[in-house]
Amino acid sequence: MLDAAEHRALRRALEIAADPAVPLGPNPRVGCVLLSPAGEILAEGHHRGAGTPHAEADALSQASSSAAGPSLRGATAVVTLEPCTHVGRTGPCADALIEAGIGRVVIARRDPNPVAAGGIQRLREAGIEVELELPEELAAAAAALNRGWEHGLQHARPLVTAKVALTLDGRAAAADGTSQWITGPAAREEVHLLRTTCDAVLVGTGTARVDTPTLTARRPDGTLHSRQPLRAVMGTGTAPSLPAVDGAGEELRLLTHDPSAALEELFSRGIRHLLVEGGPIITAAFLRAELVDELIVHLAPTLLGAGRAAVEDLGITTLVDRLDLDLVDASPLPSPGGPTDLRLTLHPRHRTA
């Protein structure tokens, strides 16, 4: 069980780990807070991406360089991820905590990486108390922090979130092709925030051609968020380059129709969480291939009765073959003065899983 100071420290460690200046991709985001036996914060540290010190090393170095130069004997380290045991740029973090005289370590998440795991055992063998039991809410936050990275370790492909905006009757555009905007300001702002939590966004050549989207993550005032996703355009059709925007993520053309091939290429470039933003043919291709892990639907309370479907042919002809999903959440997205859209979060049930 965590005491109140450890509880606060873990919240803080999760917060600094999620620093938007830190890139996503193939390294986990980790935060570390060192507490005195009396529960005062002695130092904080976090990992800032490939080639930089681990969070524990960052915090230990901050503690040793501080004017007060506090002893860490009997101190508690609160970390968002199991300390590593492998020799990287700064040596195994578990050993560094042991050498520093840390007495107790609170760990929010076990390391799913077999190369790095073993920290808990090594700490315990050194006589250090290791605490793994924490409130559900904090455990969920620690799990969410690196879900793309963890997914990559387990499945050797990026986590795929697909997002669609559609009307009550499943339309993504009216009969004449007009589609801006199906949803209201709150839903559109949420899409931009979603882009900041993914390594890459992907559209098909058709969407690139017709909508010429910038695929940047913007604030309502039009300025760019500090983290920008790679911008992937998939397909063998012709499509112009995406609009050039200062500060936007790199653009990548994926000359394939095959979602597996696209994911392989993206994974090799360090992408661990992909946001598929359509159009309907691309979304259907990922769904048919059972390569969507999470579907986010922005449902607008409007009817068109005709127009482009939001999801194209899935190769399903009869009801029993339908693609079932588990509804995880349904939340209203009210826009001041406008209509209230609905955000649905769903997990496809994979038949082959």
Known binding-site residue numbers: 54, 84, 93, 165, 179, 181, 195, 207, 211, 215, 218, 236, 277, 279-285
Residue 226 Cβ, how far from a second copy at the closest point, in Å? 33
Between 123 and 297, name the residue whose CB sits nearer to a second copy: 297
Q: Residues within the annotated binding site for substrate?
A: 179, 215, 218, 277
d(CA 95, CA 20): 29
Q: What is the largest distance, in Å, between two alpha-carbon atoms of the chain?
A: 72
SS3 80: coil
Q: How many binding residues for a second copy (CB under 8 A)? A: 51
CA dihedral sign, ordered 343, 141, 132, 134: negative
Residue 290 Cβ, how far from a second copy at the closest point, in Å? 12
Phi, psi of 18 (to 5 degrees): -85, 10
Between 284 and 291, name the residue whose CB sits nearer to a second copy: 284
Among residue numbers 236 through 295, which ones bind a second copy (CB under 8 A)?
Answer: 284, 287
Q: Which of 27, 76, 146, 167 binds a second copy (CB under 8 A)?
A: 167
Cis peptide before 279 (omega within 30 of 0): yes
351 forms part of the interface with a second copy (CB under 8 A):
no
CA 165, distance to chain mean position in Å, is 20
Nearest to 309 by CA among 174, 187, 204: 174
Among residue numbers 69 through 128, which ones bind a second copy (CB under 8 A)?
Answer: none
Q: Which of 229, 249, 297, 298 binds a second copy (CB under 8 A)?
A: 297
**Sole window of 72-80, 94-102, 133-141, 164-172 interacting with a second copy (rule: CB under 8 A):** 164-172
Q: Residues within the annotated binding site for Zn(2+)?
A: 54, 84, 93
Annotated catalytic residue within 6, 44, 56, 294? 56
Between 158 and 280, name the residue whose CB sits nearer to a second copy: 280
Cα Rg of the chain (Å, integer):
23
| 251 given a catalytic annotation | no
CA dihedral sign, ordered 243, 245, 248, 252: positive
**Sole window of 69-77, 192-200, 243-251, 315-323 interacting with a second copy (rule: CB under 8 A):** 315-323
327 forms part of the interface with a second copy (CB under 8 A):
yes
Between 7 and 347, name the residue whose CB sits nearer to a second copy: 347
d(CA 312, CA 117): 43
Residue 163 Cβ, how far from a second copy at the closest point, in Å? 13
Q: Which residues contact 317 (CB under 8 A, 6 or more apart)?
A: none
Distances in Å between the Cα of 96 and the Cα atoms of 54, 57, 132 are 11, 7, 19
Q: Which of 51, 127, 222, 305 binds a second copy (CB under 8 A)?
A: 305
Lateral strand order in the sheet of 31-35:
41-46, 31-35, 76-79, 104-107, 129-131
**Sole window of 2-10, 110-118, 130-138, 161-169 interacting with a second copy (rule: CB under 8 A):** 161-169
Q: How far apart are the first and last CA of the chain?
A: 35
Cis peptide before 181 (omega within 30 of 0): yes
H or E stretch including 263?
A: helix 259-268
Residue 74 Cβ, how far from a second copy at the closest point, in Å? 49
Between 156 and 306, name the residue whose CB sits nearer to a second copy: 306
Nearest to 333 by CA among 140, 137, 183: 183
Residue 286 Cβ, how far from a second copy at the closest point, in Å? 12
Residue 306 Cβ, how far from a second copy at the closest point, in Å? 5
350 forms part of the interface with a second copy (CB under 8 A):
no
CA 342, distance to chain mean position in Å, is 21
Are the beta carbons of 153 and 113 closer than 8 angstroms? yes
196 forms part of the interface with a second copy (CB under 8 A):
no
Residues recognised as catalytic: 56
- Which residues of the chain form contacts with a second copy (CB under 8 A)? 166-171, 173-176, 178-180, 182, 284, 287, 297, 301-307, 309-327, 330, 332, 339-342, 344, 346
